[in-house]
Structure 1
Amino acid sequence: MAPSSGARLVLISLDGSRLHYAIRLHFSASNNAIEYKALINGLRITIELGATRLYVRHNPELVIDQVMKESSNKSHLMAAYCQEVRKLEDKFQGIKLHHVSQKDNDAANFLTKLAARRDSSPSGIFINDLHKPSARVLEGPI
């Protein structure tokens, strides 16, 4: 687990406008937990912006499969993150999740490096600092 990691978001409106977010995690998290945090924060931000329909291009495929119910969660923490995503999905009239490979995601790759470096953000990039996980671990069998 990485002690200080970064996640990234690129929000694109229908007119092509882009909002860039780098999320700095100040706690240990697995790669899948980091990807869930990016997805959860992206959903929260788009809710605040008033979006009603959403098309999400996300990596890794495991997170997309779990959220789309094509794969089961083997970890209580991942199940909790998945449940958090499902709660946020209900706030949209329509949402579609699609896997995109890491190599085909240049803007997000840049933001990940920026978040991990802890440098000050360039103009036009929003930084979110998170100091604790947002999902509670579920008890009992998954």
Structure 2
Amino acid sequence: MELINLEAHKIRRATRLDFHATNNDAEYEALITGLKLALEMKVENLNVFSDSMIMVYQINGVYQAMGSRTELYLKCAQRIIARFNEVRLELIPRGQNEGAGELAKLGSCHEATLLGVVPLDIQRQPSVPEHEVGNLSGNLGPTWMTPILAYIKEGSLPDEKNDAKE
């Protein structure tokens, strides 16, 4: 992750994710880390450039987040973005994002001497909960899942031949 102010001063930071993360998770983690750093530096207006089309389009409302973990990342990023006066997230071609590629390599590097003056943070847990489970109370009655659960738990099939076949 790289922050550049109006005078072209750069702050670079690499983060190694010490947990299972998809490429999209890693993109969101980098965004969240950068947003938090910008807040610490009292930045009020921010332009974010990323080569992750999925993340940029999700943040900008063009794509819908699919999957509960991606939705959690999107909501987390949106909560942080709301703390700024203005944040613009723009998609750039991967070729124009060479600095991010270099930092990604550093984040996966095990040789501390190769990092030079770029700080390396080890992030042991995701910025969002691993699982978000709703609390269900009371009897909700039969749903489309009831026969499936009965089959899994008890091995019983519905009496109707077509229902059992499903």
Name the TM tier (shorter chain).
Answer: 0.7 to 0.9
Matched-pair identity in %? 24
> What's the TM-score once normalised by structure 1's chain length?
0.88
Instruction: Figure out how many residues of one structure are paired with residues of the other and give that number.
Output: 131
In the other structure, the counterpart of 2:109 is: 117
1:135 aligns to 2:128 (yes or no): yes
1:40 aligns to 2:32 (yes or no): yes
| Residue number among 66, 78, 103 corresponding to 2:70 in the alignment | 78
Structure with the higher fraction of residues in helix conformation: 2
Q: Which has the higher contact order (CA 8 A, sep 6+)?
A: 1
Across the aligned residues of Structure 1 and Structure 2, the Cα RMSD in angstroms comes to 1.2
Distance 1:135 1:83 in 2: 9
Q: Which amino acid aligns with 1:126?
A: P
Q: Does the aligned pair in 2 maintain the 1:79–1:138 contact within 8 Å? A: no
Distance 1:139 1:103 in 2: 40
- Compute the displacement of 1:107 (Å): 1.3
Q: Deviations over 1:71-119 (max 9, x none)?
A: 1111100000000001001110011000112221111111111111122
Structure with the higher fraction of residues in strand conformation: 1
1:105 aligns to 2:104 (yes or no): no
- Compute the displacement of 1:13 (Å): 0.4
> What's the TM-score once normalised by structure 2's chain length?
0.75
SS at match of 1:29: coil
| Residue number among 87, 90, 96 corresponding to 1:95 in the alignment | 87
| Residue number among 38, 43, 46 corresponding to 1:51 in the alignment | 43
Unaligned runs of at least 5 residues, structure 2: 135-166
Structure showing greater radius of gyration is 2
Distance 2:51 2:24 in 1: 9
SS at match of 1:81: helix
Q: Which amino acid aligns with 1:135?
A: V
Q: Which amino acid aligns with 1:93?
A: N
Q: Deviations over 1:23-48 (max 9, x none)?
A: 11001110000000000000001000
Which runs of structure 2 are paired with 1:22-37 in the superposition (5 Å)?
Answer: 22-37=14-29
Q: Does the aligned pair in 1 maintain the 2:48–2:88 contact within 8 Å? A: yes
SS at match of 1:132: coil
Q: Does the aligned pair in 1 maintain the 2:50–2:97 contact within 8 Å? A: no
Distance 2:73 2:65 in 1: 10
In the other structure, the counterpart of 2:11 is: 19
Unaligned runs of at least 5 residues, structure 1: 1-8
SS at match of 2:119: strand
Q: Does the aligned pair in 1 maintain the 2:16–2:121 contact within 8 Å? A: yes
